[in-house]
Structure 1
């Protein structure tokens, strides 16, 4: 069977412990942090979102240490319910033990060994920092200096540029695109809200989004101008 022919129905499919995802129907977020209704923070290796509804699924990669894996399976079940996920998956290249299989069956968690996104296998790293082969290749081509910690001005440019989009930007997108952890992203957002650079709204799915303001647009233009000058000089 051609890998690219899988999942044309639009539903997620598991074949030989591999989860097939079609980008026509699903978006894939890597290293996502989701906030639950009580303000708690829940992190997942993948979040798979339905492009045509508010359904989403979460994936957690299990660590290699046997004694921690059962705890992680339990945590996955709790966190997925906290954020309202429609389903959750436990991912492991290593074979699941009998106890792990029993626990995942009890908690209605599907077991997978890998994810195929439009026919491309997502690379599973031991430290659970999962990236696609394409992202790994792209990152290797970047100059090392670009991977250093950016200054505050460039981070503000990145966040303001994201929130300039018509649909705005959520906290997860800001974290992923701007390479920030949750605490740092929240700190920037709070400061920018205080300075009236961005505002909060809810989209049609009742999800919190951040949108650039008129003052934010002026600030973005000025920051871009200054940044170009500094790069040239």
Structure 2
């Protein structure tokens, strides 16, 4: 999911591999990061663009020259600071998605991968001290995800809500109970269990959240 200059991945499916080797036009080429799908095996090479505009252009040109264009359907460049027009043109030409950060969602926490404010010139040795940080997901965005998920079906059970929104059971129930009290979600009882549906008030609130 892409949101402005942020790309969000589900950590239940995707894992990150630093300094990974990708198929290239040379024998060996390391990228800063590879996102790998545990389900499909798809790999997304990621390059970190830091430093001056010239340094960023040089890095992305090196990236496009070495990473096989045909093998990878998706490629990402994470940047900090200003992006020069030439770099945007290169990204469009080689189908590279530019973003400020990648977020890996897991339950009510998220791992953020971004270029630090002060450039780090050495290769990644301890990614958690350089590019990664952990922070709690904002509650308002979790509520938006829940309403979005419930809105996608006429009735959806708790298991699917937990899976699609990356939540644990207790936290999901707590948020749903709150939404029910506010009249944004309805509970429907069936022989095979309980399902949740969005109300008109919930749809209005969801539209307000999407417009933010």
Gaps of 5+ in 1: 1-12, 138-233
Residue number among 23, 27, 30 corresponding to 2:11 in the alignment: 23
More displaced 10-residue stretch of structure 1: 21-30 or 70-79: 70-79
Contact 2:50–2:115, Cα closer than 8 Å, also in 1: no
* Structure 1 residue 105: Cα displacement: 0.9
TM-score scaled to structure 1, two decimals? Answer: 0.46
* Structure 1 residue 66: Cα displacement: 1.8
Q: Is it true that 1:51 corresponds to 2:38 in the alignment?
A: yes
* Structure 1 residue 31: Cα displacement: 2.4
Q: Give the equivalent residue in structure 2 for 1:127.
A: 120
Q: Give the equivalent residue in structure 1 for 2:184.
A: none
Q: Is it true that 1:72 corresponds to 2:59 in the alignment?
A: yes
Residue number among 87, 91, 104 corresponding to 2:74 in the alignment: 87
Question: Aligned in 2, Cα 1:121/1:103: closer, same or farther, shift over 3 Å?
Answer: same
Question: Aligned in 2, Cα 1:78/1:135: closer, same or farther, shift over 3 Å?
Answer: closer
Superposed CA RMSD in Å reads: 2.8
* Structure 1 residue 99: Cα displacement: 1.6
Contact 1:35–1:83, Cα closer than 8 Å, also in 2: no
* Structure 1 residue 83: Cα displacement: 9.0
The equivalences for 1:1-233 within 5 A come to 13-34=1-22, 36=24, 40-81=27-68, 84-118=71-105, 119-125=110-116, 126-127=119-120, 129=124, 131-132=127-128
* Structure 1 residue 124: Cα displacement: 2.6
Tell me how far apart the structure 2 counterparts of residues 21 and 82 of structure 1 sit (CA, whole Å): 22
Question: Aligned in 2, Cα 1:127/1:134: closer, same or farther, shift over 3 Å?
Answer: closer
Give the paired residue count.
124
List per-residue Cα deviations over 1:158-212 (Å, max 9, x = no partner). Answer: xxxxxxxxxxxxxxxxxxxxxxxxxxxxxxxxxxxxxxxxxxxxxxxxxxxxxxx
Question: Aligned in 2, Cα 1:83/1:32: closer, same or farther, shift over 3 Å?
Answer: farther
Question: Aligned in 2, Cα 1:121/1:136: closer, same or farther, shift over 3 Å?
Answer: closer
Structure with greater helix percent: 1
